[in-house]
Amino acid sequence: MSLSSLTLDSSTFSSARCPFKFQRRHLSRRSFFVCSAKPVVSSPSKLSVADSSRFDGLSRIDSLSQVSGVLGCQWGDEGKGKLVDILAKHFDIVARCQGGANAGHTIYNAEGKKFALHLVPSGILNEDTLCVIGNGVVVHLPGLFKEIDELESNGVPCKGRILISDRAHLLFDFHQVVDGLREAELAKSFIGTTKRGIGPCYSSKVIRNGIRVGDLRHMDIFPHKLDLLLSDLASRFKDFNYGPDMLKEEVEKYKRYAERLEPFIIDTVHFMNEAITEKKKILVEGGQATMLDIDFGTYPFVTSSSPSAGGICTGLGIAPRVVGDLIGVVKAYTTRVGSGPFPTEILGQRGDLLRFAGQEFGTTTGRPRRCGWLDIVALRYCSQINGFSSLNLTKLDVLSDLDEIQLGVSYKHVDGTPIKSFPSDLRLLEQLKVEYEVLPGWKSDISSIRNYSDLPKAAREYVERIEELTGVPIQYIGVGPGRDALIFK
């Protein structure tokens, strides 16, 4: 599919990175990563160049911090699940810290079978890995059990491998109903949610009438708590129909769920901190991404949790001092779903071509994603917030058919005044002018390449220009959906 018609104006820009303070003690590790990306071989090796590169990459993975994380750098859908799946066999625990079933992670097993996960952490395909759903996650039990049943029917064991925080909040079917009612109220200014009930569930949590997983152990008072929650929603939304039959039905349903869920429930705060004391290696899997963060994203067109670095501590109950290497996952271009400003968006047929080339349709909803050029200003902003030690650049292969590629390198007001950072003002975001830098395309298939030096020169120049503009090394490059379609740089 030809995408060569995608062209815009260009200019140049460069910027230094400002690292996040709690990551400073890892600067020596970052330096090691950069130096080890191109090992010096003093004598002939029995390994091929590609094998040597992958061996070096695996050595780098083994040297990741005891507690490491994988977080999104854009508006989600960057391919975090694939990297977590690849890294998981080098960690004892993979933990989710926020979000809910609105986070769709697509991964493939060794035989190439596709799995779409929403609540279960992406480490589940590695049988020696324990998966934790932390207190910051909102849990929809019908969806979770369906996911577990599908995994087990496909030969993936889950028994004894999934632990769920007793502090995590329960997301009910009626939260999903309320999500739709809320969006209908907003009319033309709707958020564009997945309608999975995430926002309403977090709202229940914040106004302190939510119900937690641990409450299922006390079914004597569960009906009273559920009645308070339902009554509150009925008073808020006139089209929310609530009566005694609904309460009775929900109570009976959750009595059955409680029995099945009991073996999974644990105090994950205690468990995680004990694991840290015992020197277990922990990988944190973020859902959504920093540009959807409730504080730092394009508010109000955001999710209802903290997908940035701070959410790791609050969503798992672990101290900031134990968090080490954070890997930011970013597409070679930019996508987002739902409403809200998108400075580098490509509209019309050109955006459609990129969408179909990258198969940009939501894992959770199937919605078509909005597509645009890679936004360096947003990426640098995310890097400052999270303190990334490295980046995983995904879907580089999707750009292979382009004559030229563009990077959104700076923002300006309509009057030409430079904008120094990613603004919080949505009106400004919708009106600003993006300055682009044009780089040559490579017009060749790179999906079978596994060694960085074998990439076309133009592809390497694109990768290295992103590193230069952000100040963060790119150490993993995705060139396809499969487990093996990864280049270690």
Using CA atoms, how far residue 379 sits from 399, 410, 470, in Å, is 18, 11, 7
Instruction: Tell me which of 9, 26, 62, 77 is the catalytic residue.
Output: 77
Confidence of residue 187 (pLDDT cuts 50, 70, 90): low
Q: Are 455 and 464 in contact (CB under 8 A)?
A: no
Degrees to nearest 5, angle at CA 371 with 368 and 372: 175
Q: What is the pLDDT of residue 349?
A: 85
User: Which of 49-58, 85-94, 351-360, 476-485 is the least confident region?
Assistant: 49-58
Q: Are 289 and 74 in contact (CB under 8 A)?
A: yes
Residue with tokens 């302190």: 208
Q: What is the pLDDT of residue 50?
A: 56
Confidence of residue 51 (pLDDT cuts 50, 70, 90): low
Domains along the chain with CATH numbers: 21-37+58-167+267-488 (3.90.170.10), 169-264 (1.10.300.10)
Instruction: Tell me which of 105, 118, 169, 175 is the catalytic residue.
Output: 105
Single-letter code of the amino acid located at 282: I
Q: What is the mean pLDDT of the chain?
A: 87
**Measured distance CA(383)–CA(290) in Å, rounded:** 9
pLDDT tens-digit readout, 416-470: 999 999 999 999 999 999 999 999 999 999 999 999 999 999 999 999 999 999 9
Share of the chain above pLDDT 70, in %: 86
Question: Average pLDDT of 312-318?
Answer: 98
C-beta atoms surrounding 266 within 10 Å: 17
Question: Average pLDDT of 8-31?
Answer: 34
Catalytic residue check, 270: no
Confidence of residue 24 (pLDDT cuts 50, 70, 90): very low
Q: What is the pLDDT of residue 15?
A: 36
**Measured distance CA(386)–CA(96) in Å, rounded:** 17
Q: What is the pLDDT of residue 182?
A: 83
pLDDT tens-digit readout, 390-429: 999 999 999 998 999 999 999 999 999 999 999 999 999 9
pLDDT tens-digit readout, 204-219: 999 999 999 999 999 9
pLDDT tens-digit readout, 126-158: 999 999 999 999 999 999 999 999 999 999 999
By CB atoms closer than 10 A (0-12, 13-18, 19+), residue 248 is: exposed
Closest Cα to residue 326, out of 270, 380, 385? Answer: 385
Q: What is the pLDDT of residue 112?
A: 84
Q: Is the pLDDT of residue 247 over 90?
A: yes
Q: Which carries the bigger pLDDT value, residue 482 or residue 102?
A: 482
The two structure tokens encoding residue 382:
């995310």
The two structure tokens encoding residue 29:
């590790």
End-to-end CA distance of the chain: 28
| DSSP code of residue 172 | P
**Measured distance CA(62)–CA(487) in Å, rounded:** 16
Question: Average pLDDT of 93-116?
Answer: 88
Q: What is the pLDDT of residue 364?
A: 64
Q: Which carries the bigger pLDDT value, residue 88 or residue 52?
A: 88
C-beta atoms surrounding 396 within 10 Å: 24
Catalytic residue check, 105: yes
Q: Is the pLDDT of residue 25 over 70?
A: no
pTM for the whole structure: 0.86
